[in-house]
Structure 1
Amino acid sequence: MTAPDPEPAPSAPGGQPGTQTLIRGLRVLEALTAQDRPVGVGELSRMLDLPKSTVQRLLRTLDQEGWAQTSDDAVTRWQLSPRLFALARQDTLSASLRDVAMPHLRALGERSGETIHFSVLDRDVQLVLIERVDSVHPVRTFNAIGATTALHTSCSGKAVLAMLPHARVEEILARPLEKVMPNTSVDPQHLMHQVLEARERGYAVNISENRAGVCAVGAAVADDSGRPIAAVAISMPDTRFDAGRVPEWGAWVRSTARAITGALSR
């Protein structure tokens, strides 16, 4: 018995077969990118005005190809994969940032002995890790390249917020904020206080607010206009975190961030 012919790929008006599927897949990626949290199929279906079955099929294809993945939630929700964010490392801006930043990141790593994270700002929504200098210690912190972090949960994010206009910070903190860890603050007033502190000091602190047992001190990198575009952080296990050294570490990351900012403007 001869197998039935496969169903032809849908096509957009005036386009080639498969164009509509591609466009819909890109719309799904855009919708996932616009969220700062995992999203369910039903919500995506409503956002995109597409049948659930179509959205589910597109998500499975994106998952199969490594562009989307399910979260660890009990209820199945979808998010972008680290692979997609890692791809951003190949673009000209990220490559230029890394090239300029790396000598300064290595110097900070040698000085501190701890893990150094360098992240770029993604649409005032989150930070994406594009470079890392590993700690010299056998027990160290680790984040994969392409990992994302919400602005309110990290020292780098708060340092970035400290460089944004006050009204913009209020808008960002008015969004629904996820309590990632017991130490994560989701109170806009408390977070604004932390942002104002970071603005005054030139660096921000994270004490197990994003990951259990991980502390960090970070500062923001700005472009020629003074807008934050990236951040550098010293990250360490809480067993090596010493509150008395925070001003010292803060001065180091602040100096490093300013050196990168200066190098970018040359």
Structure 2
Amino acid sequence: MDSTLLKGLTVLEAVARSEHPRGASELARELELTRSNVHRTLQTLAAAGYLRTAADGSGYECTVKLFELSSAVMERVDVRRVAQHWIHRLAEQTDETVHLSILDGAEVVYLDKVESGQPVRAYSSVGGRAPAHCVASGKALLAALPEDELAAFVEGGLPAWTERTLSVPADLCRDLAHARRTGCAVNRGEWRISVAGVAAVVFDARSRPAAAVGVSGPVERVLPQESRYRDAVLATARDISRELGCRAYPSGPSPAPGTQQEGDG
């Protein structure tokens, strides 16, 4: 393993995730590295075009080069491009925030989102992460895992984020079994106590999980309409899956009559 490269990437990630410019001293404390090492790394990243000195001299910040690279990667994630139309339509149907997410280890990563137009809504950002066992999209994707992979995930520990988090493996497994039967997973304030969500899996041409699509919003708005949101989310997941080449959606019941989108036959 190249330790110098690893340190450089660690420093770059720390600066990229920060909301303000970062200096060598605070990064050294945070990352438990020497100040001189961090200072050299920052200068190297700046010379490569990934960082620049902030205008006010308060530290280093990212340039658009990192965005350009991430955008190039995202363009190759076909599910994001295919889902664009459908997630906007789902947002119009529900007037809630819609996410398109993928599973990355013990977390989900938000590939795309459509913001709710309502003044009180769920907060998130594209590229942001959330614990998979606590959010609807994560639970939908966990429910689609093979048994051995799910067992390994559960054995890794289930941190509790709120009093409603399913941190006991047996409880989570029962909830995921229900998600498999119904086709949708539900978050009832398990990551943020005031936020709920409903999500379903998007499958690719080989019937493999490609992503999850879901809606999220305040608990008091989402949970009373859980049934309606299930139908809308599942129909959207089916539509995206079909465009990805999935011929037979492998999970969950068909949406109730009158809730299907056009062409969902």
Same fold (TM over 0.5): yes
> After the TM superposition, which residues 106-185 of structure 1 pair with which residues of structure 2 at under 5 Å, given as runs?
106-122=88-104, 124-185=105-166
Q: 1:101 to 1:181 in 2, by over 3 A?
A: same
Query: What SS is found at the alignment partner of 1:141?
Result: coil
> After the TM superposition, which residues 115-264 of structure 1 pair with which residues of structure 2 at under 5 Å, given as runs?
115-122=97-104, 124-243=105-224, 245-264=225-244
Q: 1:156 to 1:22 in 2, by over 3 A?
A: same
Query: What SS is found at the alignment partner of 1:234?
Result: strand
Partners of 1:162 and 1:250 in 2: CA distance: 16
**What displacement does 1:22 show?**
2.8
Aligned residue in 1 for 2:24: none
> After the TM superposition, which residues 19-168 of structure 1 pair with which residues of structure 2 at under 5 Å, given as runs?
21-26=4-9, 53=34, 57=38, 61=42, 88-92=70-74, 95-122=77-104, 124-168=105-149
Query: What SS is found at the alignment partner of 2:232?
Result: helix
Q: Deviations over 1:116-146 (max 9, x none)?
A: 1111222x43211121111121221120111
Query: What SS is found at the alignment partner of 1:117?
Result: strand
Q: 1:21 to 1:227 in 2, by over 3 A?
A: same
Partners of 2:139 and 2:66 in 1: CA distance: 24
Q: Deviations over 1:227-266 (max 9, x none)?
A: 22211111111231343x3222112111111211111128
Q: 1:27 to 1:137 in 2, by over 3 A?
A: closer
Matched to 1:235, the amino acid is S
Instruction: Give the CA RMSD over aligned residues.
Output: 3.6
**Are the equivalent residues in 1 in contact too, given 2:79–2:210 (CA < 8 A)?**
no
**Are the equivalent residues in 1 in contact too, given 2:143–2:177 (CA < 8 A)?**
yes
**What displacement does 1:115 show?**
0.9
Partners of 1:238 and 1:125 in 2: CA distance: 24
**Are the equivalent residues in 1 in contact too, given 2:195–2:217 (CA < 8 A)?**
yes
Matched to 1:163, the amino acid is A
Identity of aligned residues (%): 32
What stretches of structure 2 of length at least 5 have no aligned partner? 14-27, 52-64, 247-265
Q: Deviations over 1:30-65 (max 9, x none)?
A: 9xxxxxxxxxx99x98xxxxxx5499838x849997
Partners of 1:239 and 1:159 in 2: CA distance: 21
Partners of 1:184 and 1:191 in 2: CA distance: 9
What stretches of structure 1 of length at least 5 have no aligned partner? 1-11, 13-18, 31-40, 46-51, 67-82
